[in-house]
Amino acid sequence: MATSHHDEAPFPWSLGVFDAHCHPTDTMTSIADIPHMKATTLTIMATRGEDQDLVHQVASSDLGRSDQDSNQAERVVPCFGWHPWFSHQIMDDITSPSGIQDHDPSSPEGKLAHYKRVLTPAKTKEDETFFLALPDPKPLSTLISETKARLTAHPHALVGEIGLDRAFRLPKIWLPHQLEGRDASLTPGSREGRTLSPYRVQMNHQKALFKAQLKLAGEMRRAVSVHSVQAHGAIFEVLQELWKGHERKVPSRRERKRRGSAAMAHAHESDAELDKKEDDERPSSSHSTFSTSSPSSPRDHEPLPFPPRICMHSYSGPVEPLNQFLRPTVPSDIYFSFSSVINFTNPSSEKVVEVIKALPGDRILIESDLHCAGRQMDDLLEEIARKVCELRGWELDEGVKRLAENWRRFVFG
Ligand SMILES: [Zn+2]
């Protein structure tokens, strides 16, 4: 992974390099490396019960800040969310309260009733052994109030990682001898090479959890980082429900001309038509035109029914759905982020080349998606930044600056 770039231009780390999505709290021993990294800031996701407090701790500690220069950007942007791979552990007491209070969810009966409701297939008697070994479910209302408290404690925190996943299956329960052999430096809760069970989480249940977290992000005007595997259509459906009645009004070409609002016309046109050429001509300072109100407007603090900004992380879909996400009537600004590991090491990498070329230049982010901070994370960020610049035909300095601006606009609005 640590490719030497001897025949390439030196990488301009000093311009600022931002990881839009990573998981260093999965390896807590790597956290001490963050202050020594070349990357400027890591956007650190939480995914499950075991890592919410770790993300909070890292963002609250001195490690989360630059130790050299107080003017330097903070090293960490924390994100709090519940990932679809752990969605079965949440009991939806918000959208389907009926029948849920029949049993105490921590009682064996309550647990069985919950897991039978959210997991599929659930037919045989053997399922019960598996279900009873799963954690006691946490009420969705509790998760939302805990997440809200964390977001309040971290005014720049985002909501993530959340989303929908049609492909994943739950890992099998740990066997005693496997538990003895597991790597103790890894934060518990992830798959860690366990074989998979046949169980999947019902899409309706995943959607309810996803939607509740999107609403919280809107209420607190935070951006979100979204995981989507074989679920781009379902993600769009959920977002559309939240956007309904709040679509942006887009003046016709004639109206825009009449108003003479060149900047606005520029922004919307390139969005609608994914016109790379026009986008590339756009001055890099034009990002303020995406804001529907001025940055200091008090309306910027009012709750929204949908997240103001959304990042489709490690976007693996085709080019075609980009149009619907980037339609000028869509009231959320949608970004797409790419990683070396997910996007360029599998058969879909041809598709991702087309996607990166088709996107408006101001909606592209880069990420490592790595479970460990340090040198490898820097290397992966350099690799994907170089790749995006090459595909877009951007000079390295220009491209790194654009990606940094995109990250700032995505995180801070
Ligand atoms: Zn992730």
Closest CA to 348 of 230, 233, 226: 230
Q: Cα(386)–Cα(42) distance, rounded to whole angstroms?
A: 18
| The pair of three-digit structure tokens given for residue 395, joined into one six-digit string | 């000079």
Residue 89 per-residue DSSP state: G
pLDDT tens string for the chain (413 positions)?
Answer: 445 555 678 999 999 999 999 999 999 999 999 999 999 999 999 999 999 999 999 999 876 555 554 444 589 999 999 999 999 999 999 887 655 556 777 788 889 999 999 998 866 666 788 899 999 999 999 999 999 999 999 999 999 999 999 999 998 887 777 777 788 888 888 888 788 888 999 999 999 999 999 999 999 999 999 999 999 999 999 999 999 999 999 887 777 777 765 555 444 444 444 444 444 433 333 333 333 444 556 677 899 999 999 999 999 889 999 999 999 999 999 999 999 988 887 776 788 999 999 999 999 999 999 999 999 999 999 999 999 999 999 999 999 999 999 999 999 99
Task: Collapse the DSSP code of 73 into the 3-class scheme (helix H, G, I; strand E, B; otherwise coil) and give the result.
Answer: coil
CA dihedral 166, 80, 407, 27 (to 10 degrees): -90
CA dihedral 269, 275, 277, 280 (to 10 degrees): 70
Q: Write the single-letter amino acid at 224.
A: V
Cα(257) to centroid of ligand 1, in Å? Answer: 43
CA distances from 304 to 309, 331, 336, 386 (A): 11, 10, 21, 36
Task: Collapse the DSSP code of 145 into the 3-class scheme (helix H, G, I; strand E, B; otherwise coil) and give the result.
Answer: helix
| The pair of three-digit structure tokens given for residue 393, joined into one six-digit string | 């035909």
Cα(368) to centroid of ligand 1, in Å? Answer: 9
Residue 35's contacts (CB-CB under 8 Å, 6 or more residues apart) are 63, 66, 67, 75
Cα(44) to centroid of ligand 1, in Å? Answer: 9
Cα(234) to centroid of ligand 1, in Å? Answer: 19
Burial of 133 from C-beta contacts in 10 A (0-12 / 13-18 / 19+): exposed
- Angle formed by the axes of helices 203-219 and 232-243, to 10°? 40
Cα 355 vs. chain centroid, distance in angstroms?
Answer: 18
The residue to which tokens 């959920």 are assigned: 238
Residue 135 per-residue DSSP state: P
Cα(159) to centroid of ligand 1, in Å? Answer: 12
Cα(377) to centroid of ligand 1, in Å? Answer: 14
Q: Write the single-letter amino acid at 216.
A: L
The residue count of the chain comes to: 413
For residue 163, report the phi and psi dihedrals to the nearest 5 degrees. 155, -160
Q: Cα(54)–Cα(77) distance, rounded to whole angstroms?
A: 13
pLDDT of residue 409: 98
Q: Cα(360)–Cα(273) distance, rounded to whole angstroms?
A: 9
Indicate the CATH number of 13-288+302-412 among 3.20.20.140, 1.20.1260.10, 2.130.10.10, 1.20.120.1200. 3.20.20.140
pLDDT of residue 98: 58
Cα(19) to centroid of ligand 1, in Å? Answer: 12
For residue 231, report the phi and psi dihedrals to the nearest 5 degrees. -145, 20
pLDDT of residue 178: 77
Cα(246) to centroid of ligand 1, in Å? Answer: 29
Cα(272) to centroid of ligand 1, in Å? Answer: 29
Cα(296) to centroid of ligand 1, in Å? Answer: 32
Cα(235) to centroid of ligand 1, in Å? Answer: 16
The residue to which tokens 């009873």 are assigned: 132
Cα(58) to centroid of ligand 1, in Å? Answer: 17
Cα(369) to centroid of ligand 1, in Å? Answer: 5
Burial of 288 from C-beta contacts in 10 A (0-12 / 13-18 / 19+): exposed
pLDDT of residue 283: 37
Taking residue 377's Cβ as centre, other Cβ atoms within 10 Å add up to 25
- Angle formed by the axes of helices 396-412 and 375-392, to 10°? 110
